[in-house]
Amino acid sequence: MDIHTGIVNMDNLNSIGFMQGRLSPIINGRIQQFPVNNWRHEIEIASKYKFTKMEWTVDSDTLDENPLLTSEGLNLISEVCKLNNFFIPSVTCDYFMENPPWKSNKSQIYEVMQKIFNGMRKIGATLVVIPLVDHSSIKTDKEEKILKDFFLELADGIRSSNISVCFESDFEPKRLGRFIQKFPKNIFGINYDIGNSACHGFIPREEFSNYGKRILNIHVKDRKYKGTTVPLCEGDADFENIFKLLKDIDYSGNYILQTARSQNSDHLEALIKYRDMTQKWINNNA
């Protein structure tokens, strides 16, 4: 591929997107944060290089500056996407990870979630990723019950909005399989993070046998076992096997690049490289 002309093979590219912020400078040393001053430019540059979709982010630090949550901002998002033939199919709710209902004010979280769902409806996004990792990792049965009750209370509104909730969890495969069975199939599923599974040492075949059919979204990432995010194929993720397993379950969702940041700040070049790698894995199992 010629990065300067943007000439790419379009086969399967429409299913590959990237995590918002991956085309922006790293902020405060954080690998992922909503790019307040750069989100529009990300869409414009991504479209130029044949990306068609991106997963939006919502975090606590920039909540009041996130255009997804205001009428004026939503109009601007829609305008920018239309001008660039771009689509936002999903939203990662890092805000929830930073404010789980067993540690924070439930009514406040409920209000924010409703605003997020409203914003998603306005821009046509249909998947919201709820991370149950790090600060929101479920440690007790009580926390799990609080989470379950919280989302089942939201279920009717989620269903009427044509939105699906994708939980991303650090549960081992059998426990995650039991967990997701407690939620209605038509509106709740799993966000499968390839790198996080490798970090925990989970066995892909065991994961897919326990909840493969509930996977609605994929985060493409690599991590070392018990380590941090690294460039694709430099960690312990078994990409060849995982993409074969995805074919076996007839996975038809998106592949969102939540990949390692460039060490030399050439984030566009890195993202294009990772897209090409992902496209090859998809093509090899078509």
Instruction: Judge whether 1 lies within some domain.
Output: no
Phi/psi of residue 173, nearest 5 degrees? -55, -45
The Cα 199–Cα 229 span in angstroms is 9
* pLDDT at residue 12 in the model: 59
- Tokens for 133, please give them: 């990792």
Give the tens place of pLDDT for each residue, 71-84: 999 999 999 999 99
pLDDT tens digits, 34-76: 999 999 999 999 999 999 999 999 999 999 999 999 999 999 9
Contact 136, 148 (CB under 8 A): no
> Is the dihedral angle over the CA atoms 256, 257, 259, 261 positive or is it negative?
negative
Q: pTM for this one?
A: 0.94
Angle (CA) 94-216-128 rounded to 5° is 30
Q: Please give the share of the chain, as a percent, with pLDDT higher than 70.
A: 95
List the structure tokens of 200.
Answer: 């925990």
- Say if residues 147 and 100 touch (Cβ distance below 8 Å): yes
Whether 3 is covered by a domain: the verdict is no
47, 81 contact by CB (below 8 A): no
Q: Is residue 103 part of a domain?
A: yes
Residue 9 has pLDDT above 60, yes or no: no
**What percent of the chain is modeled with pLDDT above 90?**
87
**pLDDT tens figures, 89-110:** 999 999 999 999 999 999 999 9
Q: Is residue 4 part of a domain?
A: no
CA atoms within 13 A of residue 206's CA, in its CB half-sphere:
11
Predicted confidence at residue 265, as pLDDT, reads 83
Closest C-alpha among 24, 28, 98 to residue 59: 98
Residue 278 lies in a domain: yes
Instruction: Report yes or no: 195 and 229 within 8 Å, Cβ to Cβ.
Output: yes
Tell me which residue of 264, 243, 178, 242 sits closest to 214, measured CA to CA.
178
Number of domains in the chain: 1
| Alpha carbons 235 and 233: distance in angstroms, whole number | 6
CA distance linking residue 57 with residue 20, whole number of Å: 6
Residue 8 resides in a domain: no
The dihedral of CA 214, 171, 239, 14: what is its sign? positive
| Residue 213 belongs to domain spanning | 13-284
In a domain, 167, yes or no: yes
Amino acid 16 reads I
Res 160: pLDDT: 87
The yes-or-no verdict on residue 5 having pLDDT over 50 is: no
- Tell me whether strands 53-58 and 215-220 are parallel, antiparallel or unpaired: unpaired
Rounded to whole angstroms, the Cα distance separating 2 from 40 reads: 24
Q: Which helix (H) or strand (E) holds 256?
A: strand 255-257
Asked if residue 48 belongs to a domain, the reply is yes
CATH number of the domain enclosing 25? 3.20.20.150
Mean pLDDT of the chain: 93
